[in-house]
Structure 1
Amino acid sequence: MKIKTGLGQDSHAFCDTNKLLILAGVVFDYPKSLNANSDGDVVFHSITNAISSITGINILGAKADTLCKQGVTDSVEYLKLAFNDLNKWKIQHIAISIECLHPKILPMIEKMKLSISKLLNIALQDVGITTTTGEGLTEFGKGNGIQVLSIVTVIK
């Protein structure tokens, strides 16, 4: 058996648009959205980057930018591309750390875990999500955006 671990990160600043705030495919009732060409789902972007670090195939950047120009702005589609690149590797666990002052993430964690587990075909208990405000030491902890770090562990 072989094991690999991938690390991914993404962050976006808040902006005032009429877009929805979406995290892990879940819509949050919040008056601001994230500044991005896509829907700005930093959780899915972070997981996509973690998988890309395993496969060596970058999705975010040129591929995602091309899709955005074609009108594909749903981050689910980017994550699906990365997931398909895993080929015979199977996801065993995903650890996610979210840093932001707001919105409050805790009440939505179970919905977010369910969304991730369904999309990536893994057990709900194999998705871990933690949150922090970082004690206000960063722009995210001061309420100016959201940062997400993800670790994906796979086996073959």
Structure 2
Amino acid sequence: MTKTREIYFCAIGQDSHRFMTEEDVAFKSRPLLLGGVLIPDAPPLLGNSDADVVLHALVNAISGLSAERILGKVADDMCQAGITDSRAYVARALDTLKDIELLHLSFSIEAKRPHLAEVIDPMREEIAKMTGLNVCHVAITATSGEGLTAFGKGEGIACLCIASARKTPFR
């Protein structure tokens, strides 16, 4: 008889993008999206997709759980096919989990600008909806970085995501 037991584990994901400048071609047409939420009155981030650093960090954390890379070739192929919405990358990453249950997500965003306090709850709700988690299992903190890094100096935004999960059965 084989015993079945659960294994609990976590993975970390990271992403960062610099802000576009007015010289960048798509500057006026691209919004700033963070966690799938439109951030008003803020410059957009540079990237070949919508450059949502929060969702990209989430995708990388999920890739760490499943050991299947999404950002890179898979996401690049999706971009070339016209799929630039990072929510599609999250859905693709979630499909790789198979016998892995996502339990909790914790994000840390570093950005001097824009001020994020008022959009943290909407981001938590959007990410909870995407992942099927209860909003109480999606935590987001933000820091200005005190000017110590490029993100703390206002040149872009960085995000870390830690995802915890449970895998069953483990033999």
Query: Structures share a fold, TM > 0.5?
Result: yes
The C-alpha deviation readout for 1:93-116, integer Å capped at 9, x for no partner, is 000000000111111011000000
Matched, 1:7 2:7: no
Q: Residue 85 of structure 1: CA displacement?
A: 0.4
TM-score, normalisation: structure 1: 0.98
Report runs of 4+ in structure 1 exceeding 3 Å deviation.
none
Matched, 1:48 2:59: yes
Aligned alpha-carbon RMSD (Å): 0.8
Matched, 1:34 2:39: no
Which residue of structure 1 aligns with residue 94 of structure 2?
83
Any gaps of 5 or more consecutive residues in structure 1? Answer: none
TM-score, normalisation: structure 2: 0.89
Distance 2:60 2:13 in 1: 4
Q: Which amino acid aligns with 1:76?
A: R
Q: Residue 92 of structure 1: CA displacement?
A: 0.9
Distance 2:107 2:42 in 1: 24
Map 1:76-155 → 2, pairs under 5 A: 76-155=87-166
Q: Give the secondary structure class of the aligned counterpart of 1:34.
A: coil
Q: Give the secondary structure class of the aligned counterpart of 2:30.
A: coil
Distance 1:116 1:152 in 2: 12
Distance 1:107 1:54 in 2: 30
Q: Which amino acid aligns with 1:130?
A: T
CA contact (8 A) 2:13 2:58 kept: yes
Distance 2:98 2:8 in 1: 14
Any gaps of 5 or more consecutive residues in structure 2? Answer: 1-5, 22-26
| Sequence identity (%) | 40
Q: Give the secondary structure class of the aligned counterpart of 1:73.
A: coil
Q: Which amino acid aligns with 1:106?
A: A
Q: Residue 54 of structure 1: CA displacement?
A: 1.2
